[in-house]
């Protein structure tokens, strides 16, 4: 699905994605590669998504995407991966930040999308505790995630 962006990063080539995959040590899902080739990250106009509790059948949170990460830009995918790799499960790839630097992650094993609420841990200066990770399942894959994005009107 094509989403509108108010700002995209400079275009990249398939070779740039292949180089990233070599550095990461795993392949990216095709839908995510397609996204990178079109926009290379950036700021989406439709930037809000909801996280539901399946077991409780209720809305848990609504979040806002500040920016999708790109390749070879200030908010770089590989730099984020390197920075957080000791805190996230090794098959999670950060791909977007919210305004508080919480992270959207892609599981390269399952292609599922997760939201990692990490800002409170950083803000409170707590030591990292892998048993206390606040990671929420969002949806089955990257295309589904793009479909979930919507514009929220604030009063």
Structural domains of the chain, ranges and CATH numbers in brackets: 5-148 (3.40.1580.10)
The low-confidence residues of the chain, meaning pLDDT below 70, are: 1-2, 119-133, 153-155
Give SS3 for 140: coil
Element at 22 (helix H, strand E): helix 14-24
CA 151 to chain centre: 18
The pLDDT score that the predictor gives to residue 53 is 79
The pLDDT score that the predictor gives to residue 2 is 63
The pLDDT score that the predictor gives to residue 125 is 53
Q: What is the CA radius of gyration of the chain?
A: 15
Q: What is the pLDDT of residues 19-55, one digit of tens each?
A: 999 999 999 999 999 999 999 999 999 999 998 877 7
Please list, in sequence order, all residues whose beta carbon lies within 8 angstroms of the beta carbon of residue 92, skipping any fewer than 6 positions away: 105, 106, 107, 108, 114, 116
The pLDDT score that the predictor gives to residue 119 is 66
The pLDDT score that the predictor gives to residue 126 is 54
CA 17 to chain centre: 16
């Amino acid at each position: 699905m094509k989403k509108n962006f108010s700002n995209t990063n400079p275009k990249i080539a398939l070779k740039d994605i292949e180089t990233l995959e070599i550095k990461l040590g795993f392949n990216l899902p095709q839908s995510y590669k397609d996204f990178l080739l079109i926009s290379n990250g950036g700021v989406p106009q439709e930037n809000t998504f909801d996280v539901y509790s399946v077991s409780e059948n209720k809305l848990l949170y609504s979040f806002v995407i500040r920016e999708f990460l790109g390749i070879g830009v200030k908010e770089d995918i590989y730099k984020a991966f390197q920075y957080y790799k000791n805190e996230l499960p090794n098959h999670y790839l950060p791909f977007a930040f919210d305004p508080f630097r919480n992270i959207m992650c892609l599981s390269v094993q399952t292609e599922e999308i997760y939201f990692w609420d990490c800002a409170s841990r950083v803000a409170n200066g707590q030591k990292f505790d892998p048993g206390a990770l606040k990671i929420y399942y969002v949806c089955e894959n990257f295309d589904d995630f793009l479909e979930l994005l919507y514009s929220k009107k604030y009063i």
